């Protein structure tokens, strides 16, 4: 080696040393001011979120891992079973303490008087320690049962492998073997050891766990389709203090940055509409690239129409945002947006842009949800005519597992378990399950009626034959489909008053094994009325001894009565001239029920989300719809009496106050006008909270329902007070659904837009598929700062569950947007 080479070698050594130091720092976890552990390309949360109080385990709790922008690990906590199901016992959260470089969370299982804490702390090697600490030893009843679990998203680990010090294998795409049964059949073991590495060949998902205790790997899908892969160590018995320690090594990526997302409408834009794309960027991006609007020709050539640097908006959740306004582009055609290497799917600019976006919802989703009917589509049967044995009287003082409950009396002439005749007509499956929730039913009917009255869509693409309990999709029958859907929901509501004289909470299966049923609703029951005097296998062709009938929850609730009569009153108008007999029965029933409710103190029984909304809100709905139907001044007075509530809850009640205005005096209108002014001032402040210009809720259920309701409210406000409310508030709500939202640019309306939800939570969820026209809840904001909507895993109901009333709201909103584009002066040349 020459002397001349020594300085060069020294520089190389210094460079390598510097790089190693940089990589070490980048690969070390640190506790952020948002109270989670972070390093480049990876985050570890420790009880930032908690199990959903409504539906038990919603897979958003405990120790969680976000790796290169995707949350793939959750529920790091003590559980009683190796692969817990949704309804299995969960602990109660006590408190969370953040000290120095550690987060310690304290929990309690009250059934076993079992307290523990889980502490996550920095190790000295760039890894994290997870320790379980017990003030008292594991109770005898939990010996050999309680263990620390960490759950891994199956979709993230498909086509990947695992390895321990003595075993290796591939993650199964689909489970096989015996079904795990708690206390009867043990879960099948994929592997075990003291060092478990998941996805060793894939740095995007590689995670290693090391412990002196045995770590076992299971496939929770052997018990239920929504199960996850689970790593688990049993807690040792007879010990206190630190009883279990895992070292967690999460592979990051130095200098990792999330790929940009160009949030835009997958459907497209009207030429005169505001057109604003929102670019979602990693928080570490310091320099913006150019964004380009390209026009696509028939030959495939792409012409640059606009190219500019997007304007910085600021930070929201964990990302930063910039906006690109191309409203000046009005020429019809096909376009794409490009930012760096990110290129959107083609979208349209056209004057009829929203004219048919509601077709899949009315043509497919709404009829597919119809209960008590067989739904046929060409070669496919979506489901048979189910629940023709509806329904048995639910017992008094009974709490159901899905937010239904009975009070101290049934409030009917039927005994517990007795068949209530006449409930086996009409109604829609509420959501991804098979109950008929009354509050959902009347909300759906109301939105459908309002669509009919405002826009009168005569579309006919579906055959509905009640005599045969048969629906045929894509086959016209000469009747407007919207009226047929209004009729179907109305039949379910009126059946309740015929059967028991008042609105009921709803109808739902009594057993959780039925509730978790996936597939054809017809296979849930034998469609024969239950007779307790028969043996389980006995039948006379009309009755059977098989206890599979749904229960009717019937305790009186004035809120439900008011909400139901509002829908019946509205339906009476829509059905007039279509089904006159039903229309008359609806208005007669609505008036009678109103009169009855005025004669006594309200029945205020409340439980879960099945006994109606706030009484003041349901009463206002009823008074408004009855006023529109009858013109009777008593309902005007009821609306005036509601003014204090309207003022206190205007954003929630605005639609009903605005609908009443044409039949109220000018004084009432002026008071509502002042409320609209205040609302618009508040709305401008809310619009500054995020770059999308809509209200994004942060509860356990994502906020597309709120986004639509806000947009519909804006439509009514604009119709009454066009000088106070601009039309863009309506368009922003629809654009949000179609892809202008956080996390991705996907349309949340399945089969609408170039890229839309193709994996969703309906009756179809086990098939990783979708129902055309269904609308999902959307982006869930996980604390403290992570927006998420999973497209590779349907079982997140808070993000991906279709709900029938959202379909009805969407039909109205789509019509409202197109109506404004067709008629409002703002969109005229």
Chain centre distance of CA 739? 16
Q: For the chain, what percent of residues have pLDDT higher than 70? A: 96
* Confidence check: pLDDT of 14 > 70: no
Residue 9: the pLDDT is 36
Determine the Cα–Cα distance for residues 572 and 568; give it in Å rounded to an integer. 6
Average pLDDT, stretch 670-680?
97
Beta bridge partners of 781: 787
Helix (H) or strand (E) holding 584: helix 580-598
What stretches of 378-512 adopt beta strand conformation (E)?
380-383, 392-393, 436-437, 462-465, 470-473, 506-508
Q: 519 vs 311, which has greater pLDDT?
A: 311
* Confidence check: pLDDT of 180 > 70: yes
DSSP state of 825: G
Average pLDDT, stretch 713-736?
97
Q: Quick one: CA torsion of 809, 814, 817, 820, rounded to 10 degrees?
A: -100
Residue 19: the pLDDT is 34
Chain centre distance of CA 75? 19
* Confidence check: pLDDT of 23 > 50: no
* Confidence check: pLDDT of 11 > 80: no
Going by DSSP bridges, is the β-strand pair 529-530/543-544 parallel, antiparallel, or unpaired?
Answer: parallel
Confidence of residue 686 (pLDDT cuts 50, 70, 90): confident
Determine the Cα–Cα distance for residues 253 and 274; give it in Å rounded to an integer. 39
What stretches of 41-127 adopt beta strand conformation (E)?
42-46, 63-67, 70-79, 92-99, 102-109, 114-122
Confidence of residue 53 (pLDDT cuts 50, 70, 90): low
- Cα–Cα distances in Å, from 649 out to 218, 645, 653, 711, 763? 49, 6, 6, 17, 35
Determine the Cα–Cα distance for residues 464 and 730; give it in Å rounded to an integer. 33
From the list 560, 415, 564, the residue with the least C-alpha distance to 489 is 564
Q: What tokens appear for 527 in the block?
A: 């469609």
Structure confidence by residue, pLDDT tens digits, 60-91: 999 999 999 999 999 999 999 999 988 889 99
Residue 64: how many other CB atoms lie within 10 Å = 25
Chain centre distance of CA 564? 25
Are 689 and 698 in contact by the 8 Å Cβ rule? The answer is: no
Structure confidence by residue, pLDDT tens digits, 600-655: 999 999 999 999 999 999 999 999 999 999 999 999 999 999 999 999 999 999 99
**Predicted TM-score (pTM) above 0.85:** yes
Are 371 and 436 in contact by the 8 Å Cβ rule? The answer is: yes
3-class secondary-structure state, position 610: coil
From the list 439, 332, 447, 365, the residue with the least C-alpha distance to 715 is 447
Are 367 and 473 in contact by the 8 Å Cβ rule? The answer is: yes
Residue 234: the pLDDT is 98
Q: For the chain, what percent of residues have pLDDT higher than 90? A: 89
Q: What tokens appear for 734 in the block?
A: 């629809």
Confidence of residue 719 (pLDDT cuts 50, 70, 90): very high
Calculate the average pLDDT of the chain. Answer: 94
Confidence of residue 187 (pLDDT cuts 50, 70, 90): confident
* Confidence check: pLDDT of 485 > 80: yes
Per the document, the length of the chain is 829
Structure confidence by residue, pLDDT tens digits, 204-239: 999 999 999 999 999 999 999 999 999 999 999 999
From the list 186, 183, 206, 208, the residue with the least C-alpha distance to 195 is 208
Are 60 and 93 in contact by the 8 Å Cβ rule? The answer is: no
Residue ranges and CATH numbers for the domains of the chain are: 32-250 (2.70.98), 261-349 (2.60.40.10), 358-621 (1.50.10.10), 664-829 (1.50.10.10)
């Amino acid at each position: 080696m020459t002397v001349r080479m020594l300085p060069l070698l020294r520089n190389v050594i210094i460079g390598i040393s510097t790089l190693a130091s940089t990589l070490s720092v980048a690969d070390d976890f640190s506790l952020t001011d948002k109270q989670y552990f972070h390093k480049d390309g990876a985050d570890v949360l420790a009880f930032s979120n908690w199990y959903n109080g409504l539906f038990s385990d919603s897979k958003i709790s405990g120790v969680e891992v976000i790796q290169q922008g995707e949350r793939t690990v959750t529920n790091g906590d003590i559980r009683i079973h190796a692969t817990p199901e949704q309804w299995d016992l969960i602990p109660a959260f006590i408190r969370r303490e953040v000290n120095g470089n550690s987060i310690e969370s304290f929990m309690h299982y009250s059934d076993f008087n079992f307290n523990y804490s889980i502490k996550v702390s920095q190790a000295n090697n760039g890894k994290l320690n997870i320790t379980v600490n017990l003030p008292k030893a594991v109770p005898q009843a939990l010996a050999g049962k309680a263990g620390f679990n960490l759950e891994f998203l199956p979709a993230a680990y498909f086509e990947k492998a695992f390895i321990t010090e003595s075993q290796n294998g591939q993650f199964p795409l689909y489970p096989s073997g015996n079904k795990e049964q708690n206390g009867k059949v043990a879960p099948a073991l994929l592997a075990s050891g003291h060092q478990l590495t998941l996805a060793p060949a894939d740095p995007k998902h590689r995670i290693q766990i090391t412990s002196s205790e045995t770590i076992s790997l299971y496939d929770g899908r052997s018990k239920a389709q929504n199960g996850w892969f689970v790593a688990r160590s049993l807690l040792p018995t007879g010990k206190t203090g630190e009883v279990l320690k895992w070292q967690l090594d999460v592979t990051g990526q130095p200098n990792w940055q999330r790929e940009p997302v160009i949030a835009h409408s997958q459907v497209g834009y009207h030429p005169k509409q505001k057109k604003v794309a929102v670019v979602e960027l990693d928080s570490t991006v310091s320099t913006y690239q150019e964004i380009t609007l390209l026009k696509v020709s028939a030959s495939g050539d792409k012409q640059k129409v606009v190219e500019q640097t997007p304007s910085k908006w600021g930070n929201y959740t964990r990302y930063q945002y910039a906006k690109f306004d191309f409203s000046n582009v009005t020429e019809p055609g096909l376009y794409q947006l490009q930012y760096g290497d990110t290129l959107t799917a083609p979208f349209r600019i056209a004057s009829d842009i929203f004219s048919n976006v509601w077709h899949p919802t009315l043509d497919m989703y709404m009829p597919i949800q119809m209960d008590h009917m067989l739904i046929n589509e060409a070669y496919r049967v979506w489901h048979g005519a189910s629940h023709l044995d509806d329904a048995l009287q639910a017992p008094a003082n009974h709490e159901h597992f899905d937010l239904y409950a009975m009070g101290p009396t049934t409030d009917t002439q039927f005994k517990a378990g007795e068949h209530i005749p006449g409930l086996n007509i009409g109604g829609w499956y509420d959501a991804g399950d098979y109950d008929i929730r009354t509050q959902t039913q009347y909300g759906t009917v109301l939105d459908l009626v309002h669509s009919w009255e405002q826009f009168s869509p005569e579309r006919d693409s579906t055959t509905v034959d009640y005599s045969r309990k048969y629906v045929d999709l894509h086959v016209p029958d000469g009747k407007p489909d919207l009226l047929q859907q209004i009729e179907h929901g109305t039949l379910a509501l009126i059946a309740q008053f015929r059967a028991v004289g008042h609105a009921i909470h709803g109808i739902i299966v009594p057993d959780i094994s039925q509730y978790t049923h996936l597939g054809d609703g017809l296979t849930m029951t034998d469609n024969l009325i239950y007779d307790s005097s028969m043996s389980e296998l006995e039948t006379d062709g009309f009755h059977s001894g098989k206890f599979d009938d749904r229960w009717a929850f019937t305790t009186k609730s004035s809120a439900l009565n008011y909400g139901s009569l509002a829908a019946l009153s509205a339906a009476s108008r829509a059905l007039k001239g279509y089904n006159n007999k039903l229309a008359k029965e609806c208005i007669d029933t609505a008036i009678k029920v109103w009169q009855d409710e005025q004669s006594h103190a309200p029945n205020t029984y409340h439980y879960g989300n099945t006994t109606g909304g706030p009484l003041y809100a349901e009463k206002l709905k009823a008074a408004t719809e009855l006023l529109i139907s009858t013109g009777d001044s008593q309902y005007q007075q009821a609306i005036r009496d509601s003014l204090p509530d309207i003022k206190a809850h205007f954003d929630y009640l605005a639609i009903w106050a605005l609908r009443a205005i044409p039949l109220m005096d000018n004084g009432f209108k002026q008071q509502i006008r002042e409320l609209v002014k205040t609302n618009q001032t508040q709305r401008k402040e809310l619009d500054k909270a995020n770059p999308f210009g809509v209200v994004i809720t942060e509860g356990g259920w994502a906020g597309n329902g709120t986004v639509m309701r806000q947009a519909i409210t804006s439509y009514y406000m604009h119709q009454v007070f066009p000088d106070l409310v601009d039309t863009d508030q309506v368009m922003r709500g629809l654009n949000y659904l179609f892809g202008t939202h956080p996390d991705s640019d996907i349309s949340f309306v399945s089969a609408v837009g170039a890229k839309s939800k193709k994996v969703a939570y309906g009756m179809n969820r086990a098939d990783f598929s979708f129902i055309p026209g269904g609308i999902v809840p959307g982006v869930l904001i996980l604390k403290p700062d992570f927006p998420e909507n999973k497209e590779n895993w349907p079982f997140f109901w808070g993000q991906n569950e279709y709900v029938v009333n959202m379909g009805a709201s969407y039909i109205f909103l789509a019509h409202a947007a197109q109506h404004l584009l067709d008629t409002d002066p703002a969109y005229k040349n």
